[in-house]
Amino acid sequence: FDYQELELVLCGVPSIDVDDWKAHTQVSDELPEELLGWFWETVEAFTDEERARLLQFTTGSSRVPVQGFKALTSYDGRICHFTLKAVTFPDNAYPRAHTCFNRIDLPVYKTKKELEDVLSLVINMEVTGFTDE
């Protein structure tokens, strides 16, 4: 390995291929198609840095594995695809990430603007941590 190959193996791919992300995403049956479309439109409109922050929020890592999204793993090293799950939360609730399982619990927002606003807020906050909810 040269130093650049070693960096890829250790750190992952620096850019995020949204088509690969979509292809290797599991979606809960409850997630409305319209909300799924808004989610991907929002991700596609994000800058590379914003996509990396969303990935960090969801998986704990801002980089994609060298083999792409098909190689995302859970906390125990097993393959664990990115997952979008619809949940019933009160109005104006924020998405919740489960980094051990690469999953976002996504409230069913009524408009694309509402989804864009909360995703932008979540990825730009500097807060990390755990709760026991």
State the catalytic residues: 100
Quote the DSSP letter at residue 14: S
Which two tokens mark 66?
């060298």
Largest Cα–Cα separation, the chain = 51
Give dist(CA 128, CA 27) in Å, integer.
Answer: 25
Count the Cβ atoms, other than its own, within 10 Å of residue 19. Answer: 10
| Residue 84 · residue 39 · CB < 8 Å | yes
Residue at token pair 């996504």: 106
CB of 11 closer than 8 Å to CB of 63: yes
Which residue shows structure tokens 């793993």? Answer: 73
